[in-house]
């Protein structure tokens, strides 16, 4: 009996250690569910898009996500995507800690970062249980842009359509009705 209890206890510890952050909202939830807690959504350059920025430690206090922001991204006030963004200084100190990379590997799956994970540059795509997840780490003008994008197949497609339409309009001008 003691062995069974010990095995259950160890299993519960390992499950909670590998658990993903609980983001307060499910995809498709209305922004009003968190507006009192984090403030109203801020509009983006496209009228149907808005977002709420939050410190990751406020949403996921047990995940050790210091120096990372969460952006809840809304399409017509419905949660369409979640971005975790590393908040780097001029020395890229936050990315040097590999916090977001380790979180991504632990929650979504391991990927090859070479012999020196700090030098990794690129992106990884994970498709799990109707979730579309992209980890990226790029260097732009000596600054590391590191983030994790999480959405569903449906919302990712809808967001892509909006961004593609906007890009076309930038190239050709707005379409007339």
Render each residue's pLDDT in the chain as its tens digit; 177 residues: 554 443 444 443 333 344 688 998 999 999 999 989 999 999 988 889 999 999 999 999 988 899 999 999 999 999 999 999 999 999 999 999 999 999 999 999 999 999 999 999 999 999 988 889 999 999 999 999 999 999 999 999 999 998 888 788 777 766 555
Give a yes or no: residue 177 inside a domain. Answer: no
Global confidence as pTM? 0.83
Its domain, for residue 46, covers: 2-172
Give a yes or no: residue 156 inside a domain. Answer: yes
How far from chain centre, in Å, is Cα 66? 14
Total count of domains within the chain: 1
Residue found by looking up tokens 């842009």 in the block: 145
Residue 154: CB atoms within 10 Å: 13
Query: In angstroms, what CA-CA distances link 161 with 27, 74, 154, 165?
Result: 18, 14, 11, 6
């Amino acid at each position: 009996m003691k062995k069974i209890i010990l095995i259950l206890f160890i299993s519960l510890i390992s499950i909670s250690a590998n658990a993903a952050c609980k983001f307060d909202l499910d995809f498709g939830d209305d922004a009003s569910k968190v507006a009192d807690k984090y403030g109203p959504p801020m509009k983006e350059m496209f009228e149907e898009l808005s977002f709420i920025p939050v410190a990751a430690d406020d949403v996921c206090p047990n995940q050790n996500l210091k120096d990372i922001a969460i952006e809840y991204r809304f399409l017509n006030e419905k949660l369409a995507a979640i971005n975790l963004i590393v908040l780097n200084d001029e020395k890229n100190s936050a990315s040097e800690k590999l916090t977001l990379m380790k979180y991504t590997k632990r929650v979504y799956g391991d990927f090859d970062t070479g012999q020196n994970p700090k030098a990794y540059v690129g992106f990884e795509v994970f498709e799990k249980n109707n979730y579309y997840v992209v980890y990226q780490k790029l260097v732009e003008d000596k600054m590391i842009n590191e983030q994790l994008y999480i959405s569903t197949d449906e919302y990712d497609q809808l967001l892509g359509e909006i961004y593609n339409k906007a890009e076309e309009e930038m190239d050709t001008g707005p379409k007339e009705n």
